[in-house]
């Protein structure tokens, strides 16, 4: 696997150098603040040139999901792993990123109606979603888990029977597919934002929350009366959402990801946002190969699609 990873990175590094040589010229390593555009370096009718023309890229992220996308109450700025990745893409384009809130339920509509240029919002690659939008290659691996509040006897989804209530986000894979499979008798409380699940857990209005482990770990970091219980339920590859048919943007975003896996930038933002919360070593999505491999190989594809 390691050899495979090195090979992929070597190829990635070469292809990034080639692509940036064509696309960005001397601006290739510029990590500027958007003042230095690369407009003339992208083909005139490309998606990237249109974004450069606008001077900003609009990216939908979560605003209440530490450590992926959350509004820092002190600074009012949105921060997190997804935000840093979006900023890196904006830097490579030479434009400013504009982050707007995208909850689970409006991520795909936002891409379809042009509200956003990209979605970086803890979104799992599934074949159902891939029919409506395009995805980058996987950039993060999450696993479904169950969380409960202090004093709960629930040790996993098998304890969520008749009369129990389980919180998750509207429009998530957990609402549509996973909870009905792993806890068919529980009543799903589908909320707009994951922070609503925290309140419902704290008030005792639900017995459990089921979603990605990293979302639950971020909630536990805010309130240590929350515990993660039971086994991993899924393997969820996160992908960057791209409007359907924007193949040039998909290739560009994949080249940025390849570069970030190759030069250690991905691991730096992993350590900053995720490792510091979980204490765990990263699973490197590059090992999982391409989007096609992800769609074929991830257990989530069997569990996350309807
Ligand atoms: N990764 C899952 C999904 O995309 C759950 C997290 C979320 O709702 O953002 O549905």
The pLDDT of residue 12 = 36
**In this structure, which long-range contacts are made by residues 266-275, counting pairs with CB atoms below 8 Å and at least 24 apart in sequence?**
266/139, 269/81, 269/84, 269/85, 270/81, 272/81, 272/84, 273/67, 273/68, 273/80, 273/81, 273/84, 274/67, 274/81, 274/214
> What tens digit of pLDDT does each residue of 221-279 get?
999 999 999 999 988 899 999 999 999 999 999 999 999 999 999 999 999 999 999 99
* Distance of CA 220 from the midpoint of ligand 1 (Å): 17
| pLDDT (average), residues 145-152 | 97
* Distance of CA 124 from the midpoint of ligand 1 (Å): 6
> Which residue, judged by its Cα, is nearest atom 6 of ligand 1?
122
**Stated pTM of the model:** 0.85
> What tens digit of pLDDT does each residue of 281-304 get?
988 877 777 777 777 766 554 555
* Distance of CA 172 from the midpoint of ligand 1 (Å): 5
Q: Is 300 helix (H, G, I), strand (E, B) or coil?
A: helix
Percent of the chain scored above 70 by pLDDT? 84
The sheet that has 64-65: what strands, in order across it? 64-65, 69-71, 78-79
Burial class from Cβ neighbours inside 10 Å (0-12, 13-18, 19+) for residue 170 reads: middle
Given a contact cutoff of 8 angstroms between Cβ atoms, the answer to whether 94 and 30 are in contact is yes
């Amino acid at each position: 696997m390691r050899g495979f990873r090195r090979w992929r990175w070597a190829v990635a590094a070469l292809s990034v150098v080639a692509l940036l040589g064509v696309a960005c010229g001397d601006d290739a390593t510029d990590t500027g603040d958007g003042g230095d555009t690369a407009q003339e370096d992208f083909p005139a009718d490309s998606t990237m040139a249109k974004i450069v023309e606008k001077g900003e890229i609009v990216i939908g992220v979560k605003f209440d999901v530490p450590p992926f996308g959350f509004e820092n109450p002190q600074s009012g700025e949105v921060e997190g792993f997804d935000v840093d990745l979006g900023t890196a893409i904006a830097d490579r384009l030479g434009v400013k990123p504009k982050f707007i809130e995208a909850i689970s339920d409006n991520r795909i509509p936002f891409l379809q109606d042009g509200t956003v240029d990209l979605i970086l919002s803890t979104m799992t690659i599934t074949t159902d979603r891939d029919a409506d939008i395009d995805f980058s290659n996987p950039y993060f691996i999450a696993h479904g888990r169950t969380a409960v509040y202090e004093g709960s006897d629930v040790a996993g989804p098998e304890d969520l029977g008749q009369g129990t209530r389980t919180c998750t986000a509207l429009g998530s894979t957990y609402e549509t597919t996973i909870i009905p499979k792993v806890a068919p008798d529980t009543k799903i409380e589908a909320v707009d934002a994951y922070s609503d699940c925290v309140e419902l857990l704290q008030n005792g209005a639900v017995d459990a929350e089921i979603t990605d482990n990293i979302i639950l770990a971020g909630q536990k970091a805010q309130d240590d009366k929350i515990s993660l219980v039971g086994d991993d339920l899924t393997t969820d590859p996160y992908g960057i959402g791209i409007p359907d048919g924007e193949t040039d943007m998909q290739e560009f975003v994949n080249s940025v990801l390849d570069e970030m896996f190759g030069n250690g930038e991905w691991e730096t933002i992993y350590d900053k946002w995720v490792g510091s919360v979980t204490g765990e070593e990263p699973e490197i999505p590059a090992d999982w190969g391409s989007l096609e491999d992800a769609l074929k190989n991830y257990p989530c594809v069997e569990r996350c699609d309807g």
